Chain A
Amino acid sequence: MPTISVDKYKLYEALGQKFTTEEFEDLCFEYGIELDEDTENEERPIVNGEQEPPQLKIEIPANRYDMLCFEGIALNLNIFRGRIPTPNYRVVAPKDEDQYVINVLPETAQVRPLIAGAVLRNVKFTKDRYESFISLQDKLHQNLARQRTLVSIGTHDLDTVQGPFTYEALPPRDIKFVPLNQTKEMNSEELMTFYEKDKHLGRYLHIIRDSPVYPVVLDKNKVVCSLPPIINGEHSKITLNTTNIFVEVTATDATKLEIVLDMVVTMFSEYVAEPFTVEPVRIVSDHNDSTRVTPSLRPRITSVEIDYLNSCTGLSESPESLAKLLSKMAYIAKPSDKDANILEVSIPATRPDVLHQCDVMEDLAVCWGYNNLPRTEPNRSATVGGPLLINKLGDIFRTEAAMAGWSEVMPLILCSHDENFAWLNRKDDGKTAIKLANPKTLEYQIVRTSLLPGLLKTIRENKSHSLPMKIFEVADVGFKDESLERRARNERHFAAAWCGRSSGFEIVHGLLDRLLLMLRTSFITREQAGKPDGYWIEELKEDTYFHGHAAAVHLRLNGKEQRIGEFGILHPSVLENFDLRYPVSTLEINLEVFL
C-alpha cells in the first residue's frame, strides 16, 4: 500500500475543520484509509533553514489511484463529508487545435507502442502544488505503472515547445539532447552510460536499453521533449512559473495509459484558471488503430441492481436514498426510468477501480458505515464439519510420538540443495526435488524431499540442551511429478531423531514398532514376508547411515508390498556435515500408505 505524506494543517484547512489525531484517525478508519503517522510531536527535518511542518502519513489502498496526492485525498474526503459535490471534469477544445497533435510513427511499436497527451492551461502553481504534482507522478510510476515498465509520464512547459509533436523510435545515437537538470548534450547511448550508476534513474534503463530503437517525443522543431520511460529534456522543463503544461504519457498497456493520464490531469485541473477543465491532444496513430483524442474524462455510466445493493448490505433503502448515499463516494446515481430495480450510476474518470457492481456495493457499505450495517444471523444453512483424513492420520502419529516421550518440532519446508542431498550423502537424480527459481538466500533453494535436514538443523541449534534429545516432525515433503497438473505432489512423512551419548538405534526402532502397533500393523519377519499383512525390516546399505546399522522398513498392506521408509544410525560424515558432535539415529516413513 502506498503511503502519502501531506501537510497536516493544510489538509485540515482544505477539509474546513481542525481534527484531533484521534478524530482524523476515526475518519480514515471509516473511509478505509489509514493514518500511519502524525509527525507533529516528532523531530522533523530542517530543510533550507526551515523545519518541515507537521505531516500526516496516510496509507492508501492500492486501487485508489485518485488518492495518491494531497489534492485527491482532500477532494475525496470533502466529497465523503458532503462539503462539495463531485467535480464535473470537462475536456475543452483549444483555439489552435492543430498544434495539439501527436503523430505516432509505426517504429514505436517495436519498443513502447502507445502514447496519450493532454494540456493543462493557465495553471497556477505554488511551491506546494508543484511538489505535489511531481510527487503524484512518482507515486503513479511506482505503483500502477510498475516502475515505469507499463506507463511513464512526461510533463513539459508548453510555452517552450511547439506542436504538432511526433512520437518516434530512433536508433540511440540519433537522439541527442540535454537531459533534465543537466547542462551537457549527449546522445542516448551516452545517456545510458551516464545514468548507469544513478540510484534513481539507473533502475529504469533496462526497460529500453537493449532495444535497437529508443522511443522519443519531439516537437515541431525536433526539440527532444522526452526519452520515455527514462527522462525528459532540460529544454521543456516545468518550473514554478510554468502556466501551460503539456502532458505526454507513453505505455505498453493501453488501459493503464488512460488511467495514468486521467489521474495526472484530473488531480491538477483543480488549479487551472477554469477549474476541472482539460485541453485534449489528438493522437494520430493509424498503424495500430489508436487514432483518438485524449483524454476523454467521460464518466462511465453503469446499471446497478438495487436489490443486489440492498441484499448484500442488509439494507432496504429506496433508490433515491441509495443515490444520495452513493454521492458520498463521488458517484452520481439516479433511478432508471425503464427498470425500477436499476440505479444508473455515473462513475467519474477518477474511479477506474470500479469494475463491477460489487465495487459500488462496497462503497455503499462505506457510505453507510461498515460498523453501522444491520447485523444478521450468520448461520443460514447447516453444514457438516470434518477433518482432512491425512491430517487425522498425521495427528495419530503426532500424539502417539509425544506420548512416547518425543518432542515435536516444526522446521522449515524450504532448505538448501546441499542440506537435502550432499550433506546426507544422497545424490540428486534431477527427477526428484522441486527447485526454486528466485530464492533470496541459499537457505531456500528447494522444497525438501526428506524431513531429516530440518530435524538435524534443530539438533544443531540446540547444542546446549541436555542429552538425549528426542524430536519428531509430521509434515509434508514435496516431489516432482510430471503426471500431475501442477507437476508436483506433497507427501506426508513422519520423522524422528535421537541424539545422545550412545546411538539410540534400538530406541528409534522401538518408536517405529510402537507407532505401527497403534495403526494395527503387526511386525512380521522377513521370512514371513509376502504372506500376512504387516511390516518387516531389512538391512539397508545407504551412505546416509552407518553401515550395518540401518534398515529399510517394508510394509505389506492389503496385499500390496512397498518400502515405506528407513531408520538407522547416521553416518559420522553426515554428523560432521551438520556439525553434530554426538551420535544420532533417525527414522523416516511415508504416512500416505496408511490412508
Chain B
Amino acid sequence: MATQNTPSSGDLPTQLLQALSIQSPLISSEAFPAVPALEIKAALDRLASRSMITYQTIDKEEIILEPEAEQIAAQGSHEARVFEVVRQALEGLTIQELETTIGDKTVANVGRGKAFKEKWIGKGKDGKLVATVDSIKDTTQTLLQQLKEGKSADARAVTDLKKRKLIKVQKVLNFKLEKGEKFALEMVKEETDLTSDMLASGAWKTANFKPYNFNALGADQDAGSLHPLNKVRHEFRQIFFEMGFEEMPTNKFVETGFWNFDTLFVPQQHPARDLQDTFFIADPKVGGKPEALVEGQDPEEYWQNVKEVHQNGKYGSIGYKYPWSADESLKLVLRTHTTSISTAMLYKLAAQKGPDGRPPPARYFSIDRVFRNETVDATHLAEFHQVEGVIADYGLTLGGLMEFMELFFAKMGITNLKFKPAYNPYTEPSMEIFSYHEGLGKLVEIGNSGMFRPEMLEPMGLPKDMRVFGWGLSLERPTMIKYKISNIRELLGHKVDLSFIKRNPAVRLEKE
C-alpha cells in the first residue's frame, strides 16, 4: 500500500484548521502558496458552512511575467545584451559573430534591430557592428524586475509591456481566514437530513446537522397546473356569482341564423352575416324553426314577430323594411357571440311568471368560446372567449348601467370608467366602456355595453317596461394584459408553451 505524503485536497480542511490554530488571521496564499485557489475555496466553504471559520475573499489583480519577460528580468533586454556584447568586442562584431556570442538567434536579431533604433550601436568602416555610446540604461529590465517583486509601476509602461506580450494581468483569489464560533482542529461528520432511523435510535440528539443552504431553491414539486385563461375565467365567474348572476347554458356551438342574428335584430344583409366574417356550416346545413323553451310557449308567434319587426316594423319601430327570408334565418352557423344564448334565456324568461304575474328580474352570465372567420394574426384567432352579462329588470336607467359597470370593473381593480356612445345593431343606447391606462397614458376600451333594443325584446313577449342591460368583453384581452402576453396564439390553442402554463401565478384581478 502506497503512502501519500503530499497534501491532498481531501485533508486540506484539516491542514487549514491546523495552520489557523497557529496563526489567525491567516492569508491563504502565504500559508498554502502551492494549492490552487479553487481548491482552497471549496475547503473554506465546507468549514465556513460549519461555522468553524470565517473568511473574506481578497480579490487582487496580479501581474504575471511571461517566460520571455522572466528571461529579460534575469539577463537584461535583448537590445541591452546585444549592446553589451558589441561594446565588449573592441574590434566590432560581424552579425554572424554576434549570433554566436549571444548563442540565441532571436535575441541577437531582435536585439540588434532595437539597439540600432535606440542608436546604441552602428556600423563601422568594415561593416562590423560597433558601440556608439559608452553606456546605456536598460529600463525594460528594471521595470520587469520591479514588477516581479510586486512593486507597482507606471500604468503607461505596464500597458506597453502588455502590448509587447511580456506580461499578463491575472485575477488572483486570495483569502483571509479567521477562527469561527465552532473552531476545532478536526471536522466532525455532519448529517444532511433528519431520518426516521435517527429518531428511532435517538442519534438526532448528538448528531451534527449540516446547515441548510438558504440561497438555493427548494425541490421541484412536479405540480399540476391550471391554464391561465381558465384561471382568469374563474375570477370572472366568482365576480358574477358574488353579484347574483346565474350561469347560462352556452354549451351550443352551432346556432341558426335566427338565434345568432335575426332575434338580435341584426338585418339579413348585415356585413356580420357575410362569409368573410361568419363560419357557416356545410353539414348539417339547415336548422329547424325555433322550438318552445317553456311549455305553453308559442315559438311560431316569436318567429312571426321577428319576421315582422325586420320586414315591416312593429312595437313602435319602423323596422329595416326589407324582404325577410326564412331560408337565411334557418342557415346554420358557428355562433359568433354568446348573445345568441342570452337571447334564448330571455325568451325563456318571457314565459316565466314572478309573484306579480310578470317575468321576474333576472341576471345571467356566461364565459365561453365564440367563432369568427378571421384571418389569424397576433391579436386575432378564429376562436376566442366572450365574457357576457345580462341584467333584466323593470325601470332600469343608463345611470344604473354605468354604476353597475363601475362596481363590476372595480372588482378587477379598474376604476374611473368613461362611457362613449357607440353603435351596435341590438343595443340602443350602446356604450363603449373606457378606462384610463397608466402605461399607455390614454383611455383604452375595455368592454361594450348597452340596453337591448325593444325590437329584440318585445317579439319574445317581454313586457315593454322590462329593460335589459347587456355587456361583454373578451376573456383573452384582460388575460394577455395580466400575464404580459403579446401574441394570442401563445395563450389559446396548441402553440402554448407548457412551461408557461406550469409557472403562471395566481390571477388576483383586484391586485395590480
Tell me the A residues contacting B by CB distance below 8 Å: 1, 29-32, 34, 61-64, 143, 146, 150, 253-256, 300, 311-314, 355-359, 361-362, 365-366, 370-371, 373-378, 380-388, 390-391, 398-399, 401-414, 430, 433-441, 444, 447, 454, 457-458, 460-462, 465, 469-471, 476, 478, 480, 482, 484-490, 492
Bound together, the chains give a CA A471 to CA B362 distance in angstroms of 38
The answer to the question of B291 belonging to the interface, with a C-beta cut-off of 8 Å to chain A, is: yes
Minimum Cβ distance to chain A for residue B419 (Å)? 4
Q: Which chain B residues border A63 with CB–CB below 8 Å?
A: 423
Q: Which chain B residues border A312 with CB–CB below 8 Å?
A: 396-398, 429, 451, 467
Known: A381-B361, A410-B229. A488 touches B332 (CB 8 A): yes
Bound together, the chains give a CA A486 to CA B391 distance in angstroms of 26
* B498 and A386 contacting across the interface, CB-CB below 8 Å: no
Minimum Cβ distance to chain A for residue B229 (Å)? 6
Known: A362-B430, A440-B373, A465-B498. A413 touches B253 (CB 8 A): yes
Minimum Cβ distance to chain B for residue A458 (Å)? 4
* B453 and A413 contacting across the interface, CB-CB below 8 Å: no
Contact bitstring B301-328, A, C-beta under 8 A = 1, else 0? 0000000000001011111111000000
Minimum Cβ distance to chain B for residue A333 (Å)? 16
Q: Which chain A residues border B319 with CB–CB below 8 Å?
A: 355
* A355 and B502 contacting across the interface, CB-CB below 8 Å: no
Q: Which chain B residues border A390 with CB–CB below 8 Å?
A: 249, 251
Q: Which chain B residues border A314 with CB–CB below 8 Å?
A: 397-400
Q: Give the nearest-CB partner of A460 in chain B.
A: B494
Bound together, the chains give a CA A453 to CA B510 distance in angstroms of 36
17 A-B pairs besides A146-B269, A407-B227 with CB distance below 8 A are: A311-B397, A314-B397, A314-B398, A370-B419, A370-B421, A370-B431, A373-B399, A378-B403, A378-B404, A385-B363, A399-B226, A407-B502, A413-B369, A414-B382, A414-B383, A434-B281, A485-B287
Q: Which chain A residues border B395 with CB–CB below 8 Å?
A: 311, 380
* A478 and B494 contacting across the interface, CB-CB below 8 Å: no
Bound together, the chains give a CA A404 to CA B429 distance in angstroms of 49
- From B254, B318, B443, B454, name the one whose CB has the most chain A CB atoms within 10 angstroms: B254
Known: A375-B399, A385-B246. A365 touches B421 (CB 8 A): yes
* A373 and B421 contacting across the interface, CB-CB below 8 Å: no
Minimum Cβ distance to chain A for residue B321 (Å)? 4
* B284 and A487 contacting across the interface, CB-CB below 8 Å: yes
Q: Give the nearest-CB partner of B279 in chain A.
A: A436
Q: Give the nearest-CB partner of A33 in chain B.
A: B421
Near A by CB (< 8 A), chain B positions 99-152 give none
| Segment of B12-20, B72-80, B189-197, B236-244 in the binding face | B236-244
Bound together, the chains give a CA A146 to CA B275 distance in angstroms of 13
* A435 and B369 contacting across the interface, CB-CB below 8 Å: no
Q: Report the interface size class on chain B.
A: 35 or more
Minimum Cβ distance to chain A for residue B262 (Å)? 14
Known: A380-B361, A492-B251. A61 touches B373 (CB 8 A): no
Known: A436-B334, A465-B499. A61 touches B400 (CB 8 A): no
* A435 and B501 contacting across the interface, CB-CB below 8 Å: no
* A485 and B288 contacting across the interface, CB-CB below 8 Å: yes
- Which residue in A362, A380, A408, A484 is a CB contact (below 8 Å) of B227? A408
Q: Which chain B residues border A143 with CB–CB below 8 Å?
A: 271
- Which residue in A30, A362, A439 is a CB contact (below 8 Å) of B373? A439
* B280 and A32 contacting across the interface, CB-CB below 8 Å: no
Known: A365-B398, A409-B494, A434-B281. A383 touches B422 (CB 8 A): no
Near A by CB (< 8 A), chain B positions 323-369 give 332, 334, 360-363, 369
Q: Which chain A residues border B317 with CB–CB below 8 Å?
A: 355-356
Bound together, the chains give a CA A462 to CA B494 distance in angstroms of 9
Q: Which chain B residues border A300 with CB–CB below 8 Å?
A: 318
Q: Which chain B residues border A435 with CB–CB below 8 Å?
A: 281-283
Could you name 21 residue pairs across A and B whose Cβ atoms are closer than 8 Å? A256-B322, A311-B397, A312-B397, A356-B318, A362-B428, A375-B400, A383-B244, A383-B363, A385-B363, A408-B224, A412-B383, A412-B492, A433-B283, A434-B284, A437-B280, A439-B279, A447-B253, A458-B498, A465-B498, A476-B369, A488-B252
- Which residue in B223, B360, B394, B420 is a CB contact (below 8 Å) of A370? B420
* B280 and A410 contacting across the interface, CB-CB below 8 Å: no
Bound together, the chains give a CA A385 to CA B361 distance in angstroms of 12
* A29 and B420 contacting across the interface, CB-CB below 8 Å: yes
Bound together, the chains give a CA A381 to CA B393 distance in angstroms of 7
Minimum Cβ distance to chain A for residue B315 (Å)? 8
